[in-house]
Structure 1
Amino acid sequence: MLVLALRALIALARPPFVWRREFVLQSIFIIRVTLLPIALSIAAWGFAGPGLQAGNFLVTFGTIDRAGGFMVVAIVREFGTFVTATVVAGVVGTTITAELGARKIRDELDALRVLGVDPITYMVAPRILALAMMMMALDVVALLFGVLGGYVASVGILGGTSGGFLVNFFANTTFLDLAASVIKVGIFGVLIGVICCYKGLNVKGGAEGVGRAVNEAVVGCLIAIFFVNLVYTQYFLAAFPDVGVFR
């Protein structure tokens, strides 16, 4: 996988950049198939998780207006990025693995190499780049809908005030939080692209092998997302301890 990632990076940096058209097509595909699922899932989670459950806890102490600050931890730093990554891995990652796997078992990839077309340059590199770039954009959408879901629960259901929610949200939200969130999902995008492309390019055993590769790709992506999320967040909080202060 590391070798594949390095070869893709070299292909992206080498003129004449023949991967540009495929990058645009893949970017459109990613946005089209994941935008609505991400928006709905993170809005529902923001409403039910940090919105209702955490909000009920705050109501007990008469501090429901502090719910806005909790959204920074729940949505911006953690679950917004996690939900974005898992949805993309399940929808786009499986498609990439199945597509490349099908081409592999039909010997299409070997035929391309015979014709002088490098599958890494024309197929793998633009997919990895598209995943990284589009996941950054999708993360912003996820943050907006997640906070909106929490707002509806805190203000519309639990009786908080819009002013209190927004003041506490912006008081606890920093540029570092937003930048760290976007960079993290970009890393997730690279991991998903590399893992899924690797599994697709190394399919064995016919159609059954394609199904097995798709399953392995999803499991591998989830494990990588969990691990990187844990390490990245701990490093971020250690490097910038001020962002962990609840204001």
Structure 2
Amino acid sequence: MMILTGRTILSALRPPYPYGGELVSQFLFALRLCWFPLLISTVCLCYAAPGLQAANFLTLFGALDRLGGFFVLGSIREIGPNVTAIVLAGVAGTAITADLGARKVREELDALQVLGVDPVKNLVVPRFLALMVVTGLFDIYALLFGIFGGILAELVNGQPLGPFWATLFANASTTDLWGSVLKTTIY
């Protein structure tokens, strides 16, 4: 697996770059395939576990207005990137692996090599790059729906949303957002 990863990265960096159309096709494929599982996963995982548990814990200290600050730590820095990477690896990774495995069984990869076409450069690299791009973009999407889960937790506890937004924006920074996107893309 590490050898394939190394070959993929080297093939992605070396010209020529013949995979423009395939890259867009795989990007749209991953987008169509993963948006709904990611939506459900992020809302559920950010609402149930950290949202309600943190709200109950902060209620003990009378500091439920700090839930927004907790969501910067929990959702933006940790849970959002992890859930995004896991869902995309599970859904899109499985579909891509099945596609490439079926091509290997049908000996399409051997046929490409006979024709002088590098299967890693033409089949693996576009999928690899498309998943990197879509994972970074889906992280922002996951963060929005994760924060929506925090809003639900705040509303379930009967609290106004003003303190949630105030502590969220007071503790969030662009460094947190870019760090989250970069972390997810590397995953």
Q: TM-score normalised by the shorter chain: which range applies?
A: over 0.9
- Does residue 5 (structure 1) correspond to residue 9 (structure 2)? The answer is no
1:219-247 CA distance string (max 9 Å, x none):
xxxxxxxxxxxxxxxxxxxxxxxxxxxxx
Tell whether the 8 Å contact from 1:72 to 1:172 is kept in structure 2 after alignment: yes
- Tell me the SS of whatever aligns to 2:159: coil
Coordinate RMSD, CA, aligned: 1.3
Match of 2:72 in 1: 72
Structure 1 CA distance, aligned partners of 2:90 and 2:7? Answer: 25
- Tell me the SS of whatever aligns to 2:55: helix
Structure 1 CA distance, aligned partners of 2:153 and 2:113? Answer: 55
Alpha-carbon deviation of 1:140? 0.3
Structure 2 CA distance, aligned partners of 1:27 and 1:132? Answer: 9
Alpha-carbon deviation of 1:81? 1.0
Where in structure 2 are there 5+ consecutive unaligned residues? none
One-letter identity of the residue aligned with 2:70: F
- Does residue 112 (structure 1) correspond to residue 131 (structure 2)? The answer is no
Structure 1 runs (4+) deviating above 6 angstroms are: none
Match of 1:171 in 2: 170
Match of 1:150 in 2: 150
1:153-184 CA distance string (max 9 Å, x none):
11x11122211000101111122211111111
Structure 2 CA distance, aligned partners of 1:97 and 1:74? Answer: 31
One-letter identity of the residue aligned with 1:170: F
Match of 1:214 in 2: none
Alpha-carbon deviation of 1:5? 2.6
- Tell me the SS of whatever aligns to 1:116: coil
Alpha-carbon deviation of 1:6? 3.2
Structure 2 CA distance, aligned partners of 1:47 and 1:104? Answer: 42
One-letter identity of the residue aligned with 1:176: T
Give the aligned length: 187
One-letter identity of the residue aligned with 1:86: I
Match of 1:234 in 2: none
Structure 1 CA distance, aligned partners of 2:62 and 2:10? Answer: 57
Please list, as runs of the form range in 1=range in 2, the aligned pairs for 1:226-237 lying within 5 A after superposition: none
Larger RCO (CA under 8 A, 6+ residues apart): 2
Which of 14-23 and 112-121 deviates more? 14-23
- Does residue 123 (structure 1) correspond to residue 114 (structure 2)? The answer is no
1:76-131 CA distance string (max 9 Å, x none):
11111111111111111111111111111221110111112211111001111111
- Tell me the SS of whatever aligns to 2:58: helix
One-letter identity of the residue aligned with 1:117: V
Match of 2:182 in 1: 183
Alpha-carbon deviation of 1:28? 0.3
One-letter identity of the residue aligned with 2:33: V
Structure 2 CA distance, aligned partners of 1:32 and 1:164? Answer: 36
Where in structure 1 are there 5+ consecutive unaligned residues? 189-247
- Tell me the SS of whatever aligns to 1:160: coil
- Tell me the SS of whatever aligns to 2:28: helix
